Amino acid sequence: MKSTKNNAIDKELFITALNECYRRLNETGLTVKDLSKEGFTLLFQSAYKAVTTR
């Protein structure tokens, strides 16, 4: 039961971080295709950190 709740929280954080990534991309006029794999990884790490420290 506790594991299921943690998974739901993890999924919610993941989705929130992805939303933040796309918000940042839209703000700059870029798309995911404009980024390298490493670029998106850095973007996601930054977005994840931002949403978990709010």
Walking along the chain (54 residues) 10 residues at a time, the average pLDDT comes out as 75 96 98 96 97 89
* Amino acid identity at 34: D
What is the Cα–Cα distance from 35 to 44, expressed in whole angstroms?
Answer: 12
The pLDDT, as a whole number, for residue 6 is 76
Res 1: pLDDT: 52
Residue 26 and residue 12: Cα distance in Å, rounded? 21
Q: pTM of the prediction?
A: 0.82
pLDDT at 17: 97
pLDDT of residue 7: 86
Q: What is the pLDDT of residue 22?
A: 97
Residues 21 and 43 sit within 8 Å (Cβ to Cβ): yes
Rounded to whole angstroms, how far apart are CA atoms 42 and 6? 24
Question: So what's the pLDDT on residue 4?
Answer: 76
